[in-house]
Every structure is written in C-alpha cells, then in structure tokens.
Amino acid sequence: MSFVQNFPFFSIIIAMFSGIVSSVISGKKARNLSLAAIAVTTCMSAAVLAFTWRTGESYTYMMGHFPAPWGNEIRAGVLEGLVALMFGVVMFISVMGGLDHTEKDVEPGKLNLFYIMIDLMLSSLLALVYTNDLFTAYVFVEINTIAGCGLIMIRQWGRSLSAAIRYMVMSSLGSGLFLIGLSLLYDVTGQLLMIPAKEAVAQIAASDTYVIPMLVILAVISVGLAIKSGLYPFHYWIPDTYAYATPTASAILSGLVSKGYIFLLIKILYRVMSPEHLMEGYTLDVLYWFGIAGMMMGSIHAIQEKDTGRMIAYSSVAQIGYIYMGIGLGTLGGTTAAIFHIFSHGATKALLFISAVGLYEASGGERDYLSLRGAGYRNPLAAIGFTVGAMSMVGFPMLSGFISKLLFATSAFENTGKLLPTLIALAVSTTLNAVYFLRLVISLYRPERKKVGGVRRDSWNLRLAVVCFILLNLVLGLFSQPIVRAIGQGLEMFD
C-alpha cells in the first residue's frame, strides 16, 4: 500500500483538527492555520489525483481495518481526487480574497470562530467527496449544514440572521428526508456501505420485490439533497443566503457547498441504486425536467432583480438547474458535463461574488446595479473580473462556461429522447443569462453621471484573488480536454 493512499483520510482529519485547534488560538493565527490547512489538503488531493491517474483504478481505504460489511470506508479515484482538488483551490482563493472583509464583518475577538467554520466546511466537503459509507455521509451533511449556517450568521446584520434561519430550516428539512431515506435503505438492504448496498439493491431489483419502498427511498433521498442544493422549486432560501453573507462565505456557499450535495447524489444514484430502479422510478426524468425549470425560472427571477448580489444568487439557481439537467440526461456524457459544470460554476460564481464586492466599494456601498454605473472606471480590475465571470456564465468561447455548454449540447445527442428539449433549454437559458449579465456589464462601463465617493484601492489579496479566479476560468476554458478526459476516466472507475 502506498503512503499516498492515506491522504484522503489525512486531509479530512487535518481540516477537522485545525478547526479544533482554532477554538483556542487568536483570530490571526486561526486564519493562518486555516489557510495552511486548505493549502496542505489541496496538495494532498492533487497527490491522490496523480496517484489514481497513474495506477488507473480507484481504491478503497478501510478505516480501522474492518472488512467490508462492517467497517467504515473511504474510496478515492480520479474523479474524487479531481473534485477535492477543485474544491480546495476555489476555497483557498475565496478565503484569501475575503480576508479583510471577513475581519470587518466579524465581531472583534470572534475571528477564530469564523475560521473554525471554514475548517469544518472544508473537512465536511472532503468527507462528502471521499466517503463510501451512507451514514458517514449523513453526519458530514449535517456538519456541512452547521458550518454553512455559521458562515452566514457570523455577520451581525438582520438580513444575514433571517437568511441563516431560513437556510437552517430548509436544510433541516433536507437532512430529515435524507436521513429517513437512509434508514429505509438500511432497512431494505441491511447495508450502509455503498458497494455491499449496491449488491443488495441489485438482488432486490432482480427479485422484483420491494418495488414501492425502493421508489420511496429514491424519491426521498433525491428530494432531500435537491432541497439542500437548491434545485428550482426549493430555491427560496438561496437569494438571501448568498447575497447577504460576507464575501468569502458567499463565494464558498454558492461555489462549493451545494456542489458537495450534488456530488453525493451522483454517488448514491450510480454507486448504490441499480439502473432498473432509476428507469422505473423516472427519477432521472424528474431531475431533468426540474433542472430545466430551474434554468428558466432562475434566470427570469434574476432579470427581475435589481440588487446585484441577489441577481448573482438567482443565477446560481439557473446554474444548479444546468447541473441537474446534465445528471437527468442519464448518459455518461451528461454526467461528465454536469461534473465539469460543477467546476466551472464553482470558479465562476466565486469570481463574481468576490469581484462584485470591489464594485460595491467603488460605488459607495450601493448594491443596486444601476448605481454601479461607471464602476468599471473606478475599479478596473474588479470590473474586468466581473466581466470575465459574466461572459463565462453566458458562455463566451475561451472561458469555462462555454465548454460546459458545449459538453451539455454534445451529450444531449447521446439521448435522442431528450435532445430537442435540452437544446431549446440551452438556447433560451443562454439568451436569458445574456440579458441580465450583459445589462450589468454595460452598466459598469457607461460613463458616470456624477462623481461617486468611496473610490479606494482594494487590498492586494482581493486583487490577487480576482486574478487567480480569472486564470482558473481561462485554464478550465482553454485546457478543458485533459480535465474532461480525467472526469471520463474517473466516472469509469466510479461504480
């Protein structure tokens, strides 16, 4: 056994322990520890990715050396390594970009508490990516929820508090459904580990028993995770949550947290459920149509919105719709496109939230998109970052959003039944995206009507973060081939 194989476990435990240590040290030290932990775990994820890429197969890591039906397992392959690497990179840049805003928004003396939440968030995201055990997944889903709520409520603002309680209520509903789904699944199969559970599920499918219970399990787990990731009809908590948190928290919540749940759902759909059950229950079709509804409605809501932060948040609803549409296609290409869009949206949405902060500050703290008029001249770098992000979301060539739209469109040809609706949805949604994003970008570069105060230079870390995110977007857009190949290889060794 190679030493690298320990890394998934090490990275989860490092993140968790730095959270524990942060509770007794000062804010500055906690910040440095948190950044170091994210950097170290990201390097470890890269090592796991390189290792599994070289060996060409995924491996299972037994916790405490108890063999399959009993113990707790971690499983790492190319896909898991890649997702963990991407989450780490986006998280590091987001934390770095929001450093001084965090210090301003958090009550004095409580800075270390914020970084505890960041550490817990990191460890729970990594655990959701790597774990192979259903109940461990539930526990880390809850840790993720608690950390997410902490990240929102750390800003002592009425809107953040009310957003936090709504987030908490919706997330608790989602976790409740997920938990009852797991309990039912454990009941029917007698297994908690994903691989033995899959064998049991396949037996059940072959023997044609428990048809309705399996349908209920699938429905309850999908709805639970859909609520938590903000699929269209369950998106009401999204705009306030993303728009009124501190910038780092907005970037992490919109770029990463919902993606962790989606990755878990992909895992359960393909690693636990059998294809027969997926077909019989029309689960994928339901996800597909709700995804398309989300693409439309998210953009329409965004067009009606005047507040820039809420506009970007509604655009997240639309992008989550894209991801669910990709999963709903039910083909290898569709899932590849969905996972690529997880990366692309993570990089882009974090860029939009971080650079929007620079624009608000250049416009005297106003968030209305009309008040951002001329902000492109007052804060050029933030405006370039925002423009790149907006272009990427619309699907401009060379940027990551274009590649994901291309992948969605080409993968639609694998499933002829859904070809036409997918292409129409992509076309309409792209147009709607263009309406509100270009409106904002044009507003940034219109000549200013009157001099606005509050012109100030952003701190170096915010500017560095914007540059890093732009580069990440370009890398995803220009060098997408190896990434797509890695996702394809990862999906092959996934189940």
Partner 1 sequence: MFTHLMLNIEETVSMILFGIGFTTLLLHPNLIKKIIGMNIMDTAVYLFLAAKGYIAGRMVPIMSDGIQDASAYINPVPSGLVLTGIVVSVSTTALMLSLTIRLYERYGSLNLDRILILVKEEGKT
Residue 244 parent element (H or E): none
Least distance to partner 1, CB of residue 54, Å? 36
Q: Which stretch binds partner 1 (CB under 8 A): 80-88, 138-146, 348-356, 401-409?
A: 138-146
**446 binds partner 1, rule: CB under 8 A:** no
Question: Which residue in 303, 305, 349 sits closest to 323, CA to CA?
Answer: 349
**179 binds partner 1, rule: CB under 8 A:** yes
Residue 65 corresponds to which amino acid?
Answer: H
Nearest CB to partner 1, comparing residues 76 and 154? 154
Instruction: Candidates 129, 149, 217, 243: give the one binding partner 1 (CB under 8 A).
Output: 149
Max distance between CA atoms of the chain, in angstroms, equals 74
Taking 3-state DSSP, the helix, strand and coil percentages for the chain, each rounded to the nearest 5, stand at: 80, 5, 20
Query: Around Cβ 280, how many Cβ atoms within 10 Å?
Result: 14
**39 binds partner 1, rule: CB under 8 A:** no
Question: Which residue in 193, 53, 84, 57 sits closest to 132, CA to CA?
Answer: 193
Round to whole Å and give the CA distance between 316 and 242: 9
Least distance to partner 1, CB of residue 133, Å? 11
Least distance to partner 1, CB of residue 19, Å? 14
Least distance to partner 1, CB of residue 440, Å? 21
Q: Which stretch binds partner 1 (CB under 8 A): 3-11, 149-157, 288-296, 461-469?
A: 149-157
**139 binds partner 1, rule: CB under 8 A:** yes
- Map the footprint of partner 1 across residues 182-201, applying CB under 8 A: 183, 186-187, 192
User: What does the radius of gyration of the chain's CA atoms come to, in whole angstroms?
Assistant: 22
Nearest CB to partner 1, comparing residues 161 and 332? 161
Q: Which stretch binds partner 1 (CB under 8 A): 18-26, 46-54, 165-173, 400-408?
A: 165-173
Round to whole Å and give the CA distance between 419 and 412: 5
Instruction: Candidates 21, 161, 195, 332: give the one binding partner 1 (CB under 8 A).
Output: 161
Instruction: Candidates 36, 39, 165, 471: give the one binding partner 1 (CB under 8 A).
Output: 165
Residue 23 parent element (H or E): none
**169 binds partner 1, rule: CB under 8 A:** yes
**158 binds partner 1, rule: CB under 8 A:** yes
Least distance to partner 1, CB of residue 16, Å? 15
What ranges make up the beta strands (E) of 265-407?
none
- 302's CB contacts (< 8 A; 6+ apart) are 311, 312, 314, 315, 317, 318, 432, 436
**150 binds partner 1, rule: CB under 8 A:** yes
**153 binds partner 1, rule: CB under 8 A:** yes
Least distance to partner 1, CB of residue 168, Å? 6
Nearest CB to partner 1, comparing residues 136 and 489? 136
Query: Around Cβ 454, how many Cβ atoms within 10 Å?
Result: 13
**20 binds partner 1, rule: CB under 8 A:** no
**215 binds partner 1, rule: CB under 8 A:** no
Least distance to partner 1, CB of residue 347, Å? 30
Question: Which residue in 317, 342, 404, 471 sits closest to 84, CA to CA?
Answer: 342
Q: Which stretch binds partner 1 (CB under 8 A): 27-35, 93-101, 112-120, 145-153?
A: 145-153
Nearest CB to partner 1, comparing residues 224 and 333? 224
The tokens describing 149, both together, are 């709520």
Least distance to partner 1, CB of residue 13, Å? 18
Nearest CB to partner 1, comparing residues 190 and 417? 190
Nearest CB to partner 1, comparing residues 99 and 264? 264
Q: Which residue has the tokens 């409605």?
A: 297
Residue 245 parent element (H or E): none
- Given a contact cutoff of 8 angstroms between Cβ atoms, the answer to whether 445 and 376 are in contact is yes
Phi, psi angle pair for 387, to nearest 5° = -65, -45
Nearest CB to partner 1, comparing residues 87 and 244? 244
Query: Around Cβ 276, how many Cβ atoms within 10 Å?
Result: 16
Nearest CB to partner 1, comparing residues 59 and 369? 369
Least distance to partner 1, CB of residue 444, Å? 24
Provide the 3-class DSSP secondary structure of residue 370.
Answer: coil
**HSE (side-chain half, CA atoms, 13 Å) at 105:** 24
Phi, psi angle pair for 365, to nearest 5° = 80, 0
Instruction: Candidates 46, 146, 286, 467: give the one binding partner 1 (CB under 8 A).
Output: 146
- Given a contact cutoff of 8 angstroms between Cβ atoms, the answer to whether 149 and 167 are in contact is yes
Rounded alpha-carbon distances, angstroms, from residue 178 to 106, 120, 126, 134, 212 = 32, 20, 19, 10, 17
Round to whole Å and give the CA distance between 16 and 39: 14
The tokens describing 223, both together, are 């709805």
Nearest CB to partner 1, comparing residues 141 and 268? 141
Instruction: Candidates 142, 276, 285, 495: give the one binding partner 1 (CB under 8 A).
Output: 142
**61 binds partner 1, rule: CB under 8 A:** no
Using CB under 8 A as the binding criterion, the count of chain residues that bind partner 1 stands at: 28
Write out the residues near partner 1 by the rule CB under 8 A: 135, 138-139, 142, 145-146, 149-150, 153, 158-159, 161-162, 164-165, 168-169, 172-173, 175-177, 179-180, 183, 186-187, 192
